[in-house]
Amino acid sequence: MTFRERRASPRCVCSQRHGWGAARIRPGHDVQVLDLSSLGALIQSTTRLVPNSRVELRFGKNGLARTIRGRIVRSYVCAIDADVVFYRSAVAFDQMLELSTIRPDEVE
């Protein structure tokens, strides 16, 4: 059985090594960006994000920050530690994000 790609846009896998791994979701929760495309992102956090809720995802720092609005399309528990629950959530952006406008050295 082969996997059929359903993504509308290619994604890049993010990591702290590449400098793309961190962002904030309004009102100030830190999230880890697992992968990113011009149309959406897969994020991980310790904050539960409810599907269909509106969010703002902020990349960058100081005067170089970029904020994009979107909607949580799915969210699920991905890990449970002794005292914390980790959630993975998919964000669909309201408008296309030009990835070249976010440089890795701008990430918080």
**pLDDT tens digits for range 24-40:** 898 788 999 998 888 99
d(C-alpha 73, C-alpha 56), whole Å? 14
Please give the pLDDT value at position 9: 57
Domain at 12-106: CATH code: 2.40.10.220
pLDDT at 66: 82
Contact 78, 85 (CB under 8 A): no
pLDDT tens-digit series, residues 55-93: 999 877 666 678 899 999 999 999 999 999 999 999 999
Q: What Rg do the C-alpha atoms of the chain give, in angstroms? A: 14
pLDDT the model gives residue 20: 53
pLDDT at 77: 97
Output the pLDDT for position 86: 97
Q: Global pTM? A: 0.76
Nearest to 32 by CA among 87, 85, 74: 87
Domain boundaries, the chain: 12-106
